[in-house]
Structure formats: structure tokens, C-alpha cells
Structure 1
Amino acid sequence: MFLRPEVKSKIDSLWNKFWSGGIANPLDAIGQITALIFLKLLSERDNKHILEASFLGTDYASIFADNKLANWDEFKQLDSASMLETVRDVAFPFIKSYNKGTEFNKSVSDLAFIITKPSLISEAVESIEEIFNLLEQDGEGFIDSLGDMYEYLLSEISSAGKNGQFRTPRHIIKMMTELVNPKIGEKVFDPSCGTAGFLVSAYNHMLQPYTEEGGKLGVNLTDENLWNLLENNTFFGVDSDISMIRISMMNMMLHGIENPHIKQNDTLSKNFNDADSYDVVLANPPFKGSIDADDQNENFTIASKKTELLFVDLIMRILDIGGRAGVIIPDGVLFGSSNAHKQLREHLIEKNELKAVISMPSGVFKPYAGVSTAVLVFVKGGKTDKVWFYDMTADGYSLDDKRNKIADNDIPDIIEKYRAKDTEGYKQTKKHFFINVADIKANDYDLSINRYKEITYEEVEYPPTSEILGDIEALTNEISAELGKLKLILG
């Protein structure tokens, strides 16, 4: 879902209110906005549970039973001065005490309320309420749209000269999840989790077999042990940005995962040494940048400072044998000529089963970035006999900055053909085909689709030169005649 102009306008207005209210640092503003959004969503979820309990005749104790004024619906009705005092002294301490002992609780331990003007808190609460109402009118749940709204907030950091980040579009995340196919009982990891979009998608995918069409997600999953596994020992993530960690924690918890394991760390540094630990990795690591050599982990198998290479090397290390990965990489990783590029591709082929290289059009990440990318799907261990390539030319949205929804969409075909590619019924086409590993090795392990895509040229027949010259002469005579008539008219 892409935000409507009305929603973006409300977010812009909210930014301006924080700026004029004395909070000029965008990171500080995001911290306050994130906490307020979380309070709003906790209130919404609590109200939903109360209604469900009333309908089913079951017992449910409100999470605000001992802190009624921490409830959004309560403090939003107060005057500005009382609201400021209540949010500062009741609501924010409520967040900091929520789910004690969990990774989330640790992530908000130093969360501070820095709004000092009563007018700003009342305006912020009013703006978030209006944004929520607009998203409700779109027929989209606010929780599902949280990542899109946060992405837009982050784009404001970029325009303010900070290190901006952007989310992977939801439909691309869903496609990758379908291809990798995580199952309940497997540990899922994202080494640069951002807003936890991949982890949420994996959770939804795992519950889909237990969901009736149009029904509540996972309604038919009745095994308490499996629920406990999902909630406490399935989803793991790392990010270096504490603001990202908080929003990803809130995002996961509001989707039903009460104890996500998301920590602050740099997975490329000496402080991260996980290996052979996860069954599934889904990731869109940072495309640009390099790491300080003094802080770089010593367990990498390639000599490079480029993060786009190191992250793929990292994923190969942290997967358990037989573990599966879906990772977005910039096209340069596929054909780069440096020793590190070639060695990384050799490791992908020789030490893993590289299942697929899906080339994506450069507009997929617009308006935030125009880089050409691909999705790698591989299994740790085994060997690669052949690699499946797919040339995605459309993802269901226009490839300009507007990203309007369109009919052309290769994603359903990618999922269908990927599942069918190892069966006798699969038929190769110009868009998707296999390349034997011997041919890849012969090309310095080049994995760019253009290296192997069959290019056909259609022969065009033109009329004889004498005929073309005759047509030009006739056209010239006709123009001259018309010019003569025009001169007579004009006198």
C-alpha cells in the first residue's frame, strides 16, 4: 500500500508542528511520534480484545486496568496542559514498563519524553488520530500501514541531511517470503531488520495454512506449543539504529508476537559472531557503504569493505546447513570484476545450492532509490547444478516516482514458475530459463541475467531505395503545391 497524498500531507504537517514546537532534530521527533503511535495502537488492540471477549462471553483484563490514563482514548480527551502531564507521567512510564524482561522492554528503557509544550502534544495526538482515520477510510488496517507511514517519516530524515532509510515494498517482501517458504518450527532472521517487514511477512506466511479465506489469521492453529514457539523462539533481527529497533519491536508485537528477539548491533562488526544459527534468512541489506577495517568481523571469507558483499557472506555464515535465504542485492554483486566479487559468487555456487536469480526493474524502490537490483534465493550446503533466472519487467506498479498500481505484474508468474521449475511440466521461455553451472563457471561466475538471456533480432524488410525516393519526391511536390495555394490566398 502506498500512502495517499492526504496522509502524506498530514505527516508533513505533523513534522512541521514538531519543528515549530522546538524539536528540530528529526530523530528526536521520530522517537516521540513512534511512542505515541504505539500508545494509539495498544489502545486499538485492547479495544478489539474487549469487544471479542464480550462477543464470545470470555474473560479479558484490559492492559490499562491499572493505568487507565495511559489509554489513548482517555488522555486524548484532556485539555492540553493535563494531556502533557498525563502522557509524561503516566503513558510514557507505561510504555517503559510494558512486557518487562523482554527485548522490547530493554529497547525502550532509555526512552524519554521530551515534549514540553502543551500545544504540541495535543496537536500531535490530533494529527495521529486524523492519520488513523484516513487509513481506516482506505480500507487498510493502521497496523498493516505502519511500515509505509514510518517509511515516509524516514524519508524526511533523508531530506534533512541525515542517514535516510527506506522499506522494501510489501509486495516484494511477500514474493520473497513465498519463494523461501518459512515454516513453523524454523528460526527466521533478518540481519538488517529495519521496521521488521520481512519478519512480519514470515509470521503471516506461517499462519496462512491455518487460516480460512476471509477469516482471522491463524484461527485454526490450536496447538499451544506451536503458538508458544511462534511467539517466543521464531523471529530474530538485528539493526544498528535504536529508533528502528523500537519501531520493529512495536510492529511485531502489534501483529501478535509478544516476544520478538530484535537487538541493537552491527552484524558486520566484531560484536556479532553468530554462525550456523538460523533456518531462514530474509533480508534487504544496505546497498551502499563500507565498514571500518578495525571493527570488521574476522570471520568473513572474502577480503572487502563493501557492505553489499559482506552481508551476503554473512548470510552464508549464519545459516544452518540446509537453511534457506532470500536476499536483495544490487546488480553490481552479480557481475563485479573485483576479486571479492568473483570469490563471493564462487562461494554461492560451490558451497551452496543457488536456486534462483530474479532480476528486478530499477524502479522497484522509487521514489527513494533508482538502483537496479536482484533477488538471490539459495540453500546453504549441497551443490549447484543449474541456476534459474527470471527477468522481472513489471511488479504491478508503475516504475516512476509515482508508483501507481498497474495491471502488468510478473510476481504471480515468478511464484508459480519457481514452484514448477523442477517438474517435468515446466517450460522455459525468454523471461525465465536455466543455465548450467559449467557455463556460469566459464564466465567467471557471472550471474547477471543479460550475460545469458537470449536476444533475438526481428528482421525488418524495407521497400527498395528507388521506391522510398519516389515517395519522398511525391511528398515534396505535394508540399510545394500546398505552399503555392497558401501564397495565392495571402496575396
Structure 2
Amino acid sequence: MAASPAKKQDNDARTRLSAVIKSARDIMRKDAGLNGDLDRLPLLSWLLFLRAFDALEQERKIWDTDFRPAIQPEFQWNKWAEDENLTGPALTEFINDRLLPYLSSLSSNKPGDPRNVLGQVFRGVQNRMVSGYLFRDLVNQIKKIDFTSSSDIHTMAFLYESLLKEVRDSAGDSGEFYTPRPVIKFMVQQTFPELGESILDPACGTGGFLVEAYTELTEDRKLGIVEQEELWKNLRGFEKKPLPYLLCMMNMILHGIPSPNILHTNALRHMVNESGYSSRVDVILTNPPFGGEEENSIAEAFPKGYQTRETAWLFLYEVIRKLKPNGRCAIVLPNGALFGQGIGRKIKKLLLEECNLHTIVRLPQGVFAPYTQIPANLLFFEKNHPTKEVWFYQITPPGERRGYAKTKPIRFEEFSECAAWWGGRERASRSEDSHAWRVSIADIAADDYNLDLQNPNTTDELAHRTPSELLTELVVAEEKILSILNDLQRDLESY
């Protein structure tokens, strides 16, 4: 059967744009100033950003009667990128000494002014490409992408997500801001976001949670312009690091959000300084950074008894505070956070007293490979009443496998049994089985608020474990001991 015209158009666009991106990457590989994808992807991203922004400006010029260009004519993409005579050293000088400094200086006191977005995106951006001739070749490839075409935009969004998956395996800090797409999709769906609700990711990285929430809320719906603009405004994020911030902005623009509501800021500093009901949100979806330490000025801004430099606990504390009454949250936490003592214990107690921690989904080892083999957990809670009981659900890999790896990642379909067991937004008709069990708040409190609870419905004999599995569990146990010792040390230092 022949493909439909729309399907054929999408296939043609994917083939054409895949060739464009491949050529662009081949050009960048020839340049002596670029070393690896962590150099090449940011360069490709900000060029795509300028190309896409120019298309948005051309559209805005048509319907906005008060249109004023955000960028001066000489720095607009359609001016310098179309000038084939601008190449070699002259192009390098223009980019490095004029264009990037100009874009990074843009700002406005007017809310919603696109110059604020441009200034934030390009603050700290550098061009590491040394050949102006190769840069011209790269620009000419980017010019082949039509950001006024819905087919090109849709296809570029798909291709860009593929690039983001590749960068997770690059050297450096890339693993700090990547959450597997199946995990993101499951967390978004089981939080049941609705149109009109404010949705925040305070550690948004490359924007995966916000893009998935946008997809969930717009799929099979035709929104009017007022509804669209409200949704764009309601999707909020904070990101501290410049590279994931740039990648996030490009990711959201490619997915149809022309003015992403993302702040390039230290989320903890920003949130702790916010006050009042207006700063609270309906839904939080996040995988915050763990294992890091904040500077003293941030720790000291928190209330007495909750002051710590441990990033994990500060984020969890602020997430609890940031929710509106009846607000909902889905958050990724490593095992160490579940059994943490000291200030960690206090924050878990606060969570259980102020929120209904209704579900903890326990993931097996390797879901976050290659960054760590340590198992992680998905916590779902609502800020409506204290916790009475916590349901646990253990995800198990298919077949005889005991975990996942970079080459054998978790698939979304493997959450289907948990989703069916969930019982919808009201969590109706849940029952205990080989995967699911529940623990009363009295038992949790009696166990000193330890949430690192194993499935009582299964046995796991040592005789059936491989040496690799036993070694991984030994590492987990050692990290658990180290975490407890670190908590004790921090508590002693705070006195």
C-alpha cells in the first residue's frame, strides 16, 4: 500500500534534513577548534536558534501591528547569513567580536520581550570554530532548513532529540541533565497534568519534562491562540548551567514553544528568594541534581534545622514549599535519599507530614546507565493531606535480565503494567501483588523514616545472583554507609 501524501512528505523531510545535519556535523569535525560533541552540539544549537528565531520574527511581522524587530538589521540572520561574500577571517571576526557580544547584551524591562530571551541564551556563548570558511559552509547547511514549514519543524524536533541522546554519552557533565525519555513520559502521564495548570521543572536541563508535558497537553487537541499562549506561559523551568540551558531553549522552540519561559539561574537561590502564593505551581516534574554541594550563602538562606549544603535535600525542601495546595509532584530520587539520616530525615518527615506521598516506583539498576548503576526511585506526592500509607511498586526488567544498560535501555512499554495497576488519577482499586505493596505511616515513622524498603513479596537468593550483580549491590551498600557518615559529619559541622 502506498504511503499517504502527508506520510511521504514527512519521510522526505526526514531524509533531506538528516542529510543536512550529517553534512553540518561532517563540516564541524574538520575544524581544529572543536573537540567532540560537547563543542559541536552547542554551536549547532545556537545557529539553529538564530535560524528559527528569524523565521519567528518574519511571522510576527505579518500579524503584529506593533512589530519592532528584536535584533538590529545588521545582526539579523537574513542579513549576515545570506551574505555569501562574508566568509573566512571576516566572518570569524564578525561572529566573535560583533554578533555574539551584541546578542549577549540584549535585555529589556518589558515582560515577554524577546530580547530578554536572546540575552539569556547568548550570555556566555562562545564560538570555538576557528575556520571562517568552514563556518560559512556550516551556515549554508543551516540555511537549508525551513523553519516556516511545519514539516521541517516537526522533523527537526525529532532529529534534535536524537542529538540530545547522543550528547548524554559524551564526556564531561552531560549526564547531569539527561533523564531517559521513557521515564519522563511515565512520570508526566501519571501526574495527570491539565490545561490551565502551571508546570515547573526547577532543574530542567535540556527540557525533557516540559516538552513531554507540552506534548501530553496538546496531542489530539486543537488549541486556540489564547490557550496556546497560556500554556506556553505555564510551562516554567530553571537551569543553572549554560550548555543545558541553550539546548533546552532550542528543544522547546523546535517543539512549538516560541518564547520558552525558562530562566538561566541557580534554581535554589531563585526559589528561596521567591515568596507569596503567586510563585507557587500546580505541578512539579523534575530530576534534580544529586551529590553536589551548594555555597554557604544558599544553605544559610534556609530555615534553621534545614540548613545543609547538600543539593539533594535543599531541592526536595523547596519542591515541597513550591507546590500550591492540592499541587502534585513527580521527582526522581536515588536510593541514598530514601535512607538518608540527619537533615535528610527531617526533610522526609516534613514531606510525609505536609504531603501525601502516595506512590514510590522503584527502578532496577542501570536505568540511568551509563552515569550510574545505582537504582533510582520515582516519588509521586500531592500537597493535600499528611501521608497515611505509601504504596511501593517494583519495576522488573523483562525475561531473565536483572537490570538495564546503555545498550539495553528501559522501554516505555515496560511501565505498562504499573500504569494499569495505578488506578487513574484517583488511584482506585489498587491491590498488593508480586510487584506492589504498601506500608503504613506508623511503620515508616517507627523505622526512623527510612523509605528504602524492599519488596516483601519476592525472594532473591544469593545463589541465583551473578558476580556482577553482587558487586553492584556491595557498592550500593557501601554508598549507603558513606551517605549516613556524610550526614552525620554535616550535622556535627552545623553545631
TM-score, L = length of structure 1: 0.71
Deviations 1:445-465 (A, max 9, x none): 221231x5223589x9xxxxx
Query: Does 2:289 align with 1:286?
Result: yes
1:235 correspondence with 2:235? yes
1:228 maps to amino acid: E
1:156 equivalenced with 2:159 (yes/no) = no
* CA apart distance, 1:164: 5.5
Match of 1:183 among 194, 206, 209: 194
Q: How does 1:391-430 map to 2 (within 5 A)?
A: 391-394=394-397, 399-403=404-408, 409-420=413-424, 425-430=429-434
Rounded to whole Å, the distance in 1 between the matches of 2:214 and 2:50 is: 23
Deviation, structure 1 residue 113: 4.8
Identify if the C-alpha distance between structure 1 residues 13 and 164 changes in structure 2 by more than 3 Å, giving closer, same or farther.
Answer: farther
Deviation at 1:258, TM superposition (A): 2.4
* Residue deviations 1:14-42 (CA, integer Å, cap 9, x gap): 66434x1x356987655423212324556
1:199 counterpart SS class: helix
* Contact 1:390-1:433 at 8 Å conserved across structures: yes
Contact 1:76 1:125 survives alignment (8 Å):
no
Residue 438 of structure 1 aligns to which amino acid in structure 2? Answer: A
**More deviation, 378-387/9-18:** 9-18
Following superposition, the deviation at residue 441 of structure 1 comes to 1.7
Displacement of 1:390: 0.7
Deviations 1:164-219 (A, max 9, x none): 534111111111001112211111111111111111111111223xx1xxxxxx3x
Matching of residues 193-272 of structure 1 within 5 Å = 193-208=204-219, 211=220, 218=221, 220-222=222-224, 224-231=225-232, 233-269=233-269, 272=272
TM-superposed deviation, 1:127? 7.8
Within 1, Cα distance between the matches of 2:348 and 2:49?
42
> Are residues 1:339 and 2:363 paired?
no
Which residue identity does 2:77 align to in structure 1?
A
CA displacement 1:41-98 (0-9 Å, x = unmatched): 5689899x9xxx9xxxxxxxx999x899835997498895499479849987997789
2:158 pairs with 1:107: no
Residues 237 and 262, structure 2, Cα contact 8 Å, conserved in 1: yes
Matched ranges for 1:308-387 at <5 A: 308-336=312-340, 338-387=341-390
Q: Report the AA paired with residue 443 of structure 2.
A: D
CA distance in 2, matches of 1:68, 1:240: 27
CA contact (8 A) 2:103 2:119 kept: no
**Which one-letter code corresponds to 1:269 in the other structure?**
R
1:70 & 1:86 partners in 2: Cα distance? 16
Question: Does 2:274 align with 1:274?
Answer: yes
Larger deviation, residues 285-294 vs 92-101:
92-101
CA shift for structure 1 position 260: 2.1
SS at match of 1:365: coil
**Deviation of residue 285 (structure 1)?**
0.7
Q: Distance in 2 between matches of 1:199 and 1:354?
A: 22
Structure 2: distance between partners of 1:436 and 1:145: 46
Provide closer, same or farther for how the CA distance between residues 430 and 45 of structure 1 changes in structure 2, counting only shifts above 3 A: farther
8 A Cα contact 2:81 2:139, kept in partner:
no
Once residues 200 and 437 of structure 2 are traced to their aligned partners in structure 1, the CA distance between those partners, rounded to angstroms, is 30
Q: 1:268, 1:314 within 8 Å by CA — same for their partners in 2?
A: yes
Q: Which residue of 1 aligns with 2:472?
A: none
Counterparts of 2:210 and 2:246, CA distance in 1: 14
Percent identity between matched residues is 25
> Aligned partner of 1:144: which letter?
F
Measure the CA separation in 2 of the matches of 1:129 and 1:429.
56
Q: 2:218 is paired with a residue of what secondary structure? A: helix
Structure showing greater Rg:
1
Deviation at 1:327, TM superposition (A): 0.5
DSSP-derived class of the 2:269 partner: coil
Q: Give the structure-2-normalised TM-score.
A: 0.70
Q: C-alpha separation between the residues in 2 aligned to 1:192 and 1:45?
A: 27
- Give distance in 2, aligned partners of 1:94 and 1:192: 28
Moved more, 7-16 or 432-441: 7-16
Aligned-residue offset at 1:267: 2.2
Cα distance 1:91–1:294, how it changes in 2: closer, same or farther (>3 A)? closer
Q: 1:86 to 1:339 in 2, by over 3 A?
A: closer
Deviations 1:94-137 (A, max 9, x none): 977898445422313545556442333145457879999xxxxx
CA RMSD of aligned residues (A): 4.6
The amino acid that maps onto 1:268 is: L
Runs of at least 5 residues in structure 1 that lack an aligned partner in the other structure: 1-5, 54-61, 133-139, 212-217, 461-491
Q: What does 1:85-96 align with in structure 2 at a 5 Å threshold? A: 88=95
SS in 1 for 2:188: helix
Supply the distance in 1 between the matched residues of 2:460 and 2:121 (Cα, whole angstroms): 60
Higher relative contact order structure (alpha carbons within 8 Å, sequence separation ≥ 6): 2
1:39 and 1:118, CA in 2 relative to 1: closer, same or farther beyond 3 A?
same
C-alpha contact 1:304 1:340 (8 A) present in aligned 2: yes
Structure 2: 5+ residue runs without aligned partners?
Answer: 1-18, 63-68, 147-153, 464-495
Counterpart-to-counterpart distance in 2, 1:325 and 1:249: 23
Distance of aligned partners of 1:298 and 1:83 in 2 relative to their CA distance in 1, 3 Å threshold: same
Residue in structure 2 matched with residue 214 of structure 1 by the alignment: none
State how far apart, in whole Å, the 1-side matches of 2:440 and 2:237 are: 35
How many Å separate the matches in 2 of 1:315 and 1:225?
Answer: 29
CA distance change for structure 1 residues 404 and 262 in 2, over 3 Å: closer, same or farther? closer
2-side partners of 1:308 and 1:254: how far apart? Answer: 31
Determine which of 445, 448, 466 is the counterpart of 1:444.
Answer: 448
- Tell me: CA distance 1:201–1:444, structure 2 relative to 1, closer, same or farther (3 Å): same
Tell me, yes or no, if the aligned pair for 2:326 and 2:382 is still in contact at 8 Å. yes
The answer to whether 1:144 aligns with 2:158 is: yes
Shift of the 404–229 alpha-carbon distance from structure 1 to 2, 3 Å rule, reads closer
